[in-house]
Amino acid sequence: MILSDTEILRHIRQGTIVIEPFRPECLGTNSYDVHLGKTLAVYTDEVLDARRHNRIEYIEIPDEGYVLQPNRFYLGVTEEYTETHLHVPFLEGKSSVGRLGIDIHATAGKGDVGFCNHWTLEISVKQPVRVYAGMPIGQLIYFEVCGEIATPYNRKQSAKYCQRTPLPVESMMWRNFPPDER
């Protein structure tokens, strides 16, 4: 079951959903609009290695915007910091963003109960498009969970994306391999 606007607000008041900053005008009928943060990241190596820590460089989006290019992969970030303690959050691109040919996630649209951070976006575009910090980029939808959660994401030893940061976070896949295989 997807939470309605009144249920999202109720859970915000209870503290089981946190959205910072929260703007009432961003609350939809059954979702909450999130915005593109001011920082993008790109990988510095042409070939990425799943067993290695691939380095990134950051790009600050200027006031006049930044043109994203096809055949280039960008990591973005939401302005909003979120916490979800009882629900499964899903991040979907806004239809107006999709109609510009912007995809905001390749595979990671679902969060976990216990996810507490800014959302890293996996951005690709179909043709050159100028984006701006603060523009609406996606919407969070909250699903109810059936059954108790044994270990929320933010308490898992294996959780790789728990360090709070307003910057895009690169893949931590390399942490899945033993140190002698990296």
Cα distance between the two ends of the chain? 41
pLDDT, residue 181, reads 67
For range 32-48, the mean pLDDT = 97
pLDDT tier, 157 (very low <50, low <70, confident <90, very high otherwise): confident
Q: Please identify which residue in the block is written with the tokens 């996630």.
A: 105
pLDDT, tens digit (0-9, with 9 covering 90-100), for 99-131: 999 999 877 778 899 999 999 999 999 999 999
Amino acid sitting at position 52? R
pLDDT, residue 3, reads 97
For range 75-97, the mean pLDDT = 96
pLDDT, tens digit (0-9, with 9 covering 90-100), for 6-19: 999 999 999 999 99
Local structure of residue 22 (DSSP, 8 states):
-
Of 65-74, 107-116, 122-131, 172-181, least confident by mean pLDDT is 172-181
Query: Where in the chain are the domains?
Result: 1-31, 34-45+56-78+118-137
Q: Which residues belong to the active site?
A: 122
